Amino acid sequence: MDPHSHEKNYPTQAPEDVELVRRVAAGDRIAGEVLVERHLRLIVGFAFRLLGDMAEAEDVAQETFLRLWKHADRWEPRAKLSTWLHHVARNLCIDRLRLRRGREGEVMELPDLRPGVVTLLESRQRDDAVQRALLQLAERQRSAIVLVYYQGLSNREAAQVLGVEVDALESLLARGRRTLRKLLMGVEGETAKREIVS
Protein backbone atom coordinates (compact mmCIF):
# COMPACT_ATOMS: atom_id res chain seq x y z
CA MET A 1 0.00 0.00 0.00
CA ASP A 2 1.24 3.49 -0.85
CA PRO A 3 2.16 5.18 2.47
CA HIS A 4 1.13 8.54 1.00
CA SER A 5 -2.35 7.35 0.18
CA HIS A 6 -5.07 9.32 1.94
CA GLU A 7 -7.59 6.52 1.54
CA LYS A 8 -8.56 4.71 4.74
CA ASN A 9 -7.75 1.02 4.72
CA TYR A 10 -9.29 -1.26 7.34
CA PRO A 11 -7.95 -4.74 6.61
CA THR A 12 -10.13 -6.44 9.24
CA GLN A 13 -13.35 -5.26 7.58
CA ALA A 14 -15.22 -7.46 5.16
CA PRO A 15 -15.52 -5.28 2.03
CA GLU A 16 -19.02 -6.60 1.42
CA ASP A 17 -20.20 -5.35 4.83
CA VAL A 18 -18.77 -1.88 4.19
CA GLU A 19 -20.57 -1.67 0.85
CA LEU A 20 -23.79 -3.05 2.31
CA VAL A 21 -23.79 -0.45 5.11
CA ARG A 22 -23.22 2.30 2.52
CA ARG A 23 -26.18 0.96 0.56
CA VAL A 24 -28.32 0.83 3.73
CA ALA A 25 -27.41 4.48 4.37
CA ALA A 26 -28.69 5.24 0.86
CA GLY A 27 -32.01 3.53 1.69
CA ASP A 28 -31.42 0.13 0.05
CA ARG A 29 -33.74 -2.33 1.88
CA ILE A 30 -32.24 -5.37 0.12
CA ALA A 31 -28.79 -4.49 1.49
CA GLY A 32 -30.34 -4.29 4.96
CA GLU A 33 -31.92 -7.71 4.56
CA VAL A 34 -28.56 -9.16 3.48
CA LEU A 35 -26.87 -7.71 6.58
CA VAL A 36 -29.59 -9.10 8.84
CA GLU A 37 -29.34 -12.52 7.21
CA ARG A 38 -25.56 -12.46 7.57
CA HIS A 39 -25.35 -11.35 11.23
CA LEU A 40 -28.69 -12.05 12.96
CA ARG A 41 -27.93 -15.54 14.30
CA LEU A 42 -24.66 -14.38 15.87
CA ILE A 43 -26.26 -11.39 17.56
CA VAL A 44 -29.28 -13.35 18.83
CA GLY A 45 -26.98 -16.10 20.16
CA PHE A 46 -24.74 -13.55 21.84
CA ALA A 47 -27.66 -11.75 23.49
CA PHE A 48 -29.21 -15.05 24.59
CA ARG A 49 -26.01 -16.12 26.31
CA LEU A 50 -25.84 -12.82 28.14
CA LEU A 51 -29.53 -12.63 29.06
CA GLY A 52 -30.67 -16.27 29.22
CA ASP A 53 -33.99 -15.38 27.58
CA MET A 54 -34.67 -15.94 23.86
CA ALA A 55 -37.48 -13.38 23.53
CA GLU A 56 -35.30 -10.69 25.08
CA ALA A 57 -32.36 -11.78 22.91
CA GLU A 58 -34.48 -11.38 19.78
CA ASP A 59 -35.62 -7.94 20.96
CA VAL A 60 -32.00 -6.92 21.54
CA ALA A 61 -31.02 -8.13 18.06
CA GLN A 62 -33.88 -6.18 16.51
CA GLU A 63 -32.89 -3.01 18.37
CA THR A 64 -29.24 -3.55 17.37
CA PHE A 65 -30.14 -3.63 13.68
CA LEU A 66 -32.49 -0.65 14.08
CA ARG A 67 -29.56 1.32 15.46
CA LEU A 68 -27.46 0.29 12.49
CA TRP A 69 -30.16 1.55 10.09
CA LYS A 70 -30.48 4.83 11.99
CA HIS A 71 -26.73 5.46 12.07
CA ALA A 72 -25.60 3.80 8.82
CA ASP A 73 -24.79 7.17 7.25
CA ARG A 74 -22.37 7.98 10.11
CA TRP A 75 -20.84 4.51 10.53
CA GLU A 76 -17.06 4.34 10.06
CA PRO A 77 -15.50 0.92 9.36
CA ARG A 78 -12.74 1.17 11.96
CA ALA A 79 -13.41 -2.43 12.96
CA LYS A 80 -15.50 -5.27 11.60
CA LEU A 81 -19.22 -4.60 11.40
CA SER A 82 -19.77 -7.72 13.52
CA THR A 83 -17.60 -6.16 16.24
CA TRP A 84 -19.73 -3.00 16.19
CA LEU A 85 -22.95 -5.05 16.26
CA HIS A 86 -21.69 -7.08 19.25
CA HIS A 87 -20.76 -3.85 21.04
CA VAL A 88 -24.23 -2.36 20.53
CA ALA A 89 -25.94 -5.64 21.51
CA ARG A 90 -23.81 -5.91 24.65
CA ASN A 91 -24.80 -2.41 25.75
CA LEU A 92 -28.47 -3.19 25.16
CA CYS A 93 -28.10 -6.41 27.19
CA ILE A 94 -26.47 -4.52 30.05
CA ASP A 95 -29.43 -2.12 30.08
CA ARG A 96 -31.87 -5.04 30.27
CA LEU A 97 -29.87 -6.76 33.03
CA ARG A 98 -29.99 -3.57 35.09
CA LEU A 99 -33.77 -3.40 34.71
CA ARG A 100 -34.09 -7.06 35.71
CA ARG A 101 -32.34 -6.83 39.06
CA GLY A 102 -35.49 -6.31 41.10
CA ARG A 103 -37.70 -8.76 39.20
CA GLU A 104 -38.99 -11.91 40.90
CA GLY A 105 -38.01 -15.42 39.82
CA GLU A 106 -39.94 -17.06 37.02
CA VAL A 107 -42.20 -20.10 37.36
CA MET A 108 -40.51 -23.26 36.08
CA GLU A 109 -42.19 -25.68 33.68
CA LEU A 110 -42.48 -29.36 34.61
CA PRO A 111 -40.33 -31.59 32.38
CA ASP A 112 -41.70 -34.28 30.03
CA LEU A 113 -40.47 -37.67 31.33
CA ARG A 114 -41.64 -39.95 28.50
CA PRO A 115 -39.14 -42.62 27.37
CA GLY A 116 -36.67 -41.22 24.83
CA VAL A 117 -37.01 -37.71 26.21
CA VAL A 118 -34.80 -38.40 29.25
CA THR A 119 -31.53 -38.34 27.26
CA LEU A 120 -32.54 -35.07 25.66
CA LEU A 121 -33.45 -33.68 29.08
CA GLU A 122 -30.05 -34.64 30.48
CA SER A 123 -28.33 -32.84 27.61
CA ARG A 124 -30.54 -29.80 28.12
CA GLN A 125 -29.84 -29.89 31.86
CA ARG A 126 -26.11 -29.71 31.15
CA ASP A 127 -26.66 -26.84 28.71
CA ASP A 128 -28.91 -25.12 31.24
CA ALA A 129 -26.29 -25.58 33.97
CA VAL A 130 -23.68 -23.92 31.76
CA GLN A 131 -26.11 -21.10 30.92
CA ARG A 132 -26.95 -20.58 34.62
CA ALA A 133 -23.24 -20.57 35.47
CA LEU A 134 -22.58 -18.03 32.70
CA LEU A 135 -25.31 -15.80 34.10
CA GLN A 136 -23.62 -15.88 37.53
CA LEU A 137 -20.36 -14.48 36.17
CA ALA A 138 -19.57 -10.80 36.47
CA GLU A 139 -20.92 -9.08 33.34
CA ARG A 140 -17.51 -8.32 31.81
CA GLN A 141 -16.27 -11.89 32.36
CA ARG A 142 -19.48 -13.28 30.87
CA SER A 143 -19.20 -10.96 27.87
CA ALA A 144 -15.57 -11.91 27.30
CA ILE A 145 -16.30 -15.65 27.43
CA VAL A 146 -19.34 -15.41 25.17
CA LEU A 147 -17.57 -13.21 22.61
CA VAL A 148 -14.51 -15.45 22.33
CA TYR A 149 -15.84 -18.98 22.92
CA TYR A 150 -19.41 -18.78 21.64
CA GLN A 151 -19.27 -15.99 19.07
CA GLY A 152 -15.82 -16.89 17.71
CA LEU A 153 -14.37 -13.38 17.86
CA SER A 154 -10.61 -13.06 18.07
CA ASN A 155 -9.17 -11.74 21.32
CA ARG A 156 -8.45 -8.43 19.57
CA GLU A 157 -12.03 -8.11 18.30
CA ALA A 158 -13.52 -9.05 21.68
CA ALA A 159 -11.26 -6.51 23.38
CA GLN A 160 -12.59 -3.85 20.98
CA VAL A 161 -16.19 -4.76 21.81
CA LEU A 162 -15.45 -4.50 25.53
CA GLY A 163 -13.31 -1.37 25.17
CA VAL A 164 -10.27 -2.94 26.86
CA GLU A 165 -6.74 -3.93 25.91
CA VAL A 166 -6.07 -7.53 24.82
CA ASP A 167 -4.18 -8.25 28.07
CA ALA A 168 -7.19 -7.14 30.10
CA LEU A 169 -9.47 -9.34 27.98
CA GLU A 170 -7.21 -12.34 28.58
CA SER A 171 -7.37 -11.66 32.31
CA LEU A 172 -11.19 -11.51 32.14
CA LEU A 173 -11.20 -14.82 30.24
CA ALA A 174 -8.94 -16.51 32.78
CA ARG A 175 -10.99 -15.31 35.76
CA GLY A 176 -14.24 -16.22 34.01
CA ARG A 177 -13.04 -19.74 33.14
CA ARG A 178 -11.86 -20.27 36.72
CA THR A 179 -15.21 -19.14 38.14
CA LEU A 180 -17.18 -21.24 35.62
CA ARG A 181 -15.13 -24.29 36.54
CA LYS A 182 -15.93 -23.79 40.24
CA LEU A 183 -19.62 -23.19 39.57
CA LEU A 184 -19.96 -26.21 37.30
CA MET A 185 -18.03 -28.48 39.67
CA GLY A 186 -20.60 -27.57 42.31
CA VAL A 187 -23.45 -28.43 39.92
CA GLU A 188 -21.88 -31.76 38.99
CA GLY A 189 -21.38 -32.56 42.67
CA GLU A 190 -25.06 -31.84 43.43
CA THR A 191 -26.16 -33.97 40.46
CA ALA A 192 -23.98 -36.85 41.64
CA LYS A 193 -25.39 -36.54 45.18
CA ARG A 194 -28.96 -36.70 43.84
CA GLU A 195 -28.16 -39.75 41.71
CA ILE A 196 -26.61 -41.57 44.67
CA VAL A 197 -29.60 -40.78 46.92
CA SER A 198 -32.16 -41.85 44.27
Residue range 143-164, pLDDT digits in tens: 999 999 989 899 999 999 999 9
- Supply the pLDDT for residue 118: 46
Look at residue 6 in the predicted model and tell me its pLDDT.
36
pTM, rounded to two decimals: 0.65
Mean pLDDT computed over every residue of the chain: 79
Q: What is the pLDDT of residue 9?
A: 40
* pLDDT tens for each residue of 90-132: 999 998 988 877 554 443 343 444 445 445 555 666 777 888 8
169 vs 175: CA distance, rounded Å: 10
Exposed, middle or buried, 68 (CB in 10 Å: 0-12/13-18/19+)?
Answer: buried
Domains of the chain, each with CATH number or no CATH = 11-100 (1.10.1740.10), 113-198 (1.10.10.10)
- DSSP string covering 99-143: HHTTPPPPPPPPPP--TTHHHHHHHHHHHHHHHHHHHHS-HHHHH
Whether 78 has a pLDDT exceeding 90, the answer reads no
